[in-house]
Amino acid sequence: MKVNNMVNPVIEAINKRKSVRAYEPKPIPRDILNMIIDAGNQAPFVSEKRFQPWRFVVVENQEFKQKLAQTTFPIWERFMEGMKETSPDLYEMGVMIYEAMDDPKDPVYYSAPVIIFVIGPTRNATCCALACENIMLAATSLGIGSCYVGFGAMVTGNDDVVQALELSEDERIYGPILLGYPKENPSKELADALDKIGPKKKEAVIKWI
């Protein structure tokens, strides 16, 4: 977007951000990751302690990512089974993208190189969500794809994962957020599936007073 003949990089990043569900299998440089996390840490917040209420757990280890996928896949599978009758269109889209995925299939974390768990108190949900948005916008501005995956937070049934995340009873997971370089040449089947499940955005509903 141009303002006074100048490109506004913040508005441009907001307009370009989208949920990426296919990633190149290459790491993100640590300095870029730190820049993205710091952007999340700059989000607005309210806290009685006057400090940010959130913390970040960054997952790059492949073995731990497999543990996350093994924990959440049965939950995703049960959810999809329930969607057959209640939301057949969503069920069809979920099956479509799953079948088009490369092996090993990961319909929750999409084999993303990096998973960021934003963790904070349940009473600070809005603040933590703002930190998540900052992370995704910063990633977009640096050419990194992102995706906020609700299923990815359903790991509290695995004691090993809970211990690794150091998750306390008064905390919850916001996100997590997937990060990685968008896949440049996905198969035609995967590209078609991703295109079909993409959300359709309408113009803003506005009332001026």
Residue 10 included in any domain: no
State how many domains the chain has: 1
Domain CATH code at residue 99: 3.40.109.10
Could you tell me the residue range of the domain that residue 89 belongs to? 31-194
Residue pLDDT, tens place only, 40-88: 999 999 877 778 899 999 999 999 999 999 999 999 999 999 988 898 8
Q: Are 69 and 108 in contact (CB under 8 A)?
A: yes
C-alpha distance from residue 193 to each of 66, 146, 186 (Å):
24, 18, 11
Residue 26 included in any domain: no
Looking at residue 33, what is its pLDDT?
A: 98
Residue 160 included in any domain: yes
Residue pLDDT, tens place only, 95-132: 888 998 888 899 999 999 999 999 999 999 999 999 99
Residue pLDDT, tens place only, 132-157: 999 999 999 999 999 999 999 999 99
